[in-house]
Structure 1
Amino acid sequence: MNGDSQFSIVLLAMLAGAIRVSTPFLFVSLGECLTEKSGRINLGLEGTLVFGAMTGYAAAYQTGSPWLGVVAAGIAGAVFGAVHGYICKLPKVNDIAVGIALMLFGTGLAFFLGKPYIQPQAPRLPSLPLGAWSDNPQLQTALQINPLFLVGLALALLMWWAFRNTRFGLIVRMTGDSAPAALAMGYSVDLVRFLATTIGGFLAGVGGAFLSLYYPGSWSEGLSSGQGLMAVALVIFARWNPLACFGAALLFGAAGALGPALQSVGVTAGYYFFNAAPYVLTLLIMIASTSPKRALKGAPGELSITK
């Protein structure tokens, strides 16, 4: 196999991996983007993601329908988001501390309730063979697209448009930028943030269902590998822009696919180092984001990290 052929295989493998690996990042980051746009941070999305993965897998196994599993995962995530939103509206409550507590609670509860579902096989989500027109097996594999990826893309476009052109988007942005202004206009800051946090939790739960029902397509206690927390860094990197969240999710996905892509052409040296690429990327992003000139550029004014 010549160098050009190997390079093509690696690129196609990274394309396929970027699409697969980026989907949970995309849903969690969009949920966190909406939450932070309203002026609240939810660091508990890691626990929401894991609990959504367990709930989706269990529901799919019990009902025989992976799509019912996705719905159940979203509902479970919404419940966690609602709990976070309700607690954070209480006086003198720190949203970061609440998020960390719910992250630990969500992962612990998922591990406890999910033990009976580690071995059973639940039905997997289907994929769309968008590469059927090609005779290249690598390209066909790369273009096996799960519908949730397309839903995430559409959702990113919808959120970007809604923040700029709808009354709902204006209210969310106003609540996140200036709570006194929202109150002066007659809007309930607590209600807006509660709804934004609940919807954000729903999206994180759907991202968890993708992990357990499509890629890697099983339920285990180490399923998430910190993707929920990395998605928070992704939102900062994307400067609270839903379309930029989509691009950043693909970047994180490609970083996560680097190790398997190199292994597909026989490069095994440093395999575990390449598997750490998403974590290294997260660290580099956080270091780059500490610049005093641009660290919080575009951040909603009511976020606790801006005060």
Structure 2
Amino acid sequence: MEDATIGIWGVPLAILAGAIRVSTPFIFVSLGETITERSGRINLGLEGTLVFGAMTAYAIDVMTSSPWLGVLAAMATGAIFGAVHGWICKWPKVNDIAIGIAMMQFGLGLAFFLGKPFIQPAAPHLPSIPFGFWSRLAPVRAALDVNALFLIGIVLAILLWWAFRNTRIGLILRVVGDSTDAARAMGIHPDRVRLIATAAGGSLAAVGGAYLSLYYPGSWNERISSGQGLMAVALVIFARWNPIGCFLAALLFGGAGALGPALQSVGVTEGYYLFYAAPYVLTLVILIATSSPTRSLVGAPGALSLTK
């Protein structure tokens, strides 16, 4: 009876709940890729990092019964993946795109190989905060049941936005990202900065994977990711390398991903499954809309290039 009293409001509530749940991995992966690209490097291997982070977090959680320890372990493995990517890409004539694809396949394969023993065991989930405690309606309580990582993502987006503009580290990152020669003239080591930035980006991407396995959907399997790591690259471009823009764009992607389940929840039985493709369609639209052979992207780091 509680669901019936919601009526048509069940759709926006389901979209809100889905946006919060689905957007969280996008938030962390896109913020990580923003750090990396701000330094003048692109990392297409984050899909593999995300999946390996999901496996690592779940495995550690199963063995220790501590989901937060699983998140920390995922961060460590993500940093290692990012550091390897950054170290390889510092060599002359190395193509960032090719290395990223290779690291993605390596991460996926290694996760599937090492994660087989952890497909069946159950593990404790990350905690959530019941912001809907005031309501007697189950759909409202479910929509406002927010995972702690989502809140951490909000704080992280604001801190990164502030740090890029107001700290020495942010200034160094922007200088390296805009001009390698200018950075060297200032006594900055661009390769070192980019390696650290790529490692930091990989660490955050792995947190997005930990969320997938430890909260939503909350299990480990070989189909846990639906390309969030790759779509996050388009999301960063759409957000113009702005951390707060990444957070808002992640909510948009999350809401698009929640359209299908929201329609299904109110009894739409035909055609709703087409809306499951909404995030991928949105990715294509963004890439097409932001592509131009005659002008550069506003806000793009000057040293950022798809080829080296």
What amino acid does structure 2 have at the position aligned with 1:167? R
Tell me the secondary structure at the aligned position of residue 276 of structure 1: helix
Runs (4+) of structure 1 moved beyond 4 Å? 1-5, 292-295
What residue in structure 1 maps to residue 289 of structure 2?
288
* Aligned-residue offset at 1:95: 1.1
Structure-2 change in CA distance of 1:3 and 1:143 (3 Å)? closer
8 Å contact from structure 1 (residues 44, 100) kept in 2 = yes
* Aligned-residue offset at 1:291: 3.3
Q: Distance in 1 between matches of 2:24 and 2:175?
A: 29
The residue correspondences of 1:124-135 to structure 2 (distance < 5 A) are 124-135=125-136
8 Å contact from structure 1 (residues 299, 306) kept in 2 = no
% same residue: 71
8 Å contact from structure 1 (residues 60, 69) kept in 2 = yes
Q: Distance in 1 between matches of 2:61 and 2:84?
A: 24
Q: Distance in 2 between matches of 1:114 and 1:278?
A: 27
Matched, 1:110 2:93: no
Q: Which runs of 5+ in 1 are unaligned?
A: none
Q: Distance in 2 between matches of 1:138 and 1:189?
A: 50
What residue in structure 1 maps to residue 210 of structure 2?
209
What residue in structure 2 maps to residue 271 of structure 1?
272
What residue in structure 1 maps to residue 59 of structure 2?
58
What amino acid does structure 2 have at the position aligned with 1:272? Y
What residue in structure 2 maps to residue 78 of structure 1?
79
What residue in structure 2 maps to residue 196 of structure 1?
197
* Aligned-residue offset at 1:274: 1.0
* Aligned-residue offset at 1:294: 5.8
What amino acid does structure 1 have at the position aligned with 2:292? S
What amino acid does structure 2 have at the position aligned with 1:141? A
8 Å contact from structure 2 (residues 95, 307) kept in 1 = no
Which moved further from structure 2: 129-138 or 22-31?
129-138
The residue correspondences of 1:30-41 to structure 2 (distance < 5 A) are 30-41=31-42
Q: Which runs of 5+ in 2 are unaligned?
A: none
Matched, 1:151 2:152: yes
Which moved further from structure 2: 134-143 or 84-93?
134-143
Q: Distance in 1 between matches of 2:176 and 2:57?
A: 32
Q: Distance in 2 between matches of 1:293 and 1:67?
A: 47
What residue in structure 2 maps to residue 172 of structure 1?
173
* Aligned-residue offset at 1:146: 0.5
* Aligned-residue offset at 1:290: 1.3
What residue in structure 2 maps to residue 13 of structure 1?
14
* Aligned-residue offset at 1:135: 2.1
What amino acid does structure 1 have at the position aligned with 2:97? I
Q: How many residues align?
A: 307
Q: CA RMSD in A?
A: 1.7
What amino acid does structure 1 have at the position aligned with 2:105? L
Q: Distance in 2 between matches of 1:3 and 1:164?
A: 49
What amino acid does structure 1 have at the position aligned with 2:186? M
Tell me the secondary structure at the aligned position of residue 250 of structure 2: helix
* Aligned-residue offset at 1:6: 3.5
* Aligned-residue offset at 1:53: 0.3
8 Å contact from structure 1 (residues 40, 304) kept in 2 = yes
Q: Distance in 2 between matches of 1:294 and 1:22?
A: 30
Question: In the TM superposition, what whole-angstrom CA distance separates every residue of 1:81-136 from its partner, at most 9, and x where no partner exists?
Answer: 01001111112111111100000000011011111111111111111001102222
Q: Distance in 2 between matches of 1:306 and 1:152?
A: 30
What amino acid does structure 2 have at the position aligned with 1:222? R
Q: Distance in 2 between matches of 1:290 and 1:88?
A: 25
Matched, 1:220 2:217: no
8 Å contact from structure 2 (residues 58, 219) kept in 1 = yes
What residue in structure 1 maps to residue 69 of structure 2?
68
Q: Distance in 1 between matches of 2:208 and 2:74?
A: 8
TM-score, normalised to structure 2, is 0.96
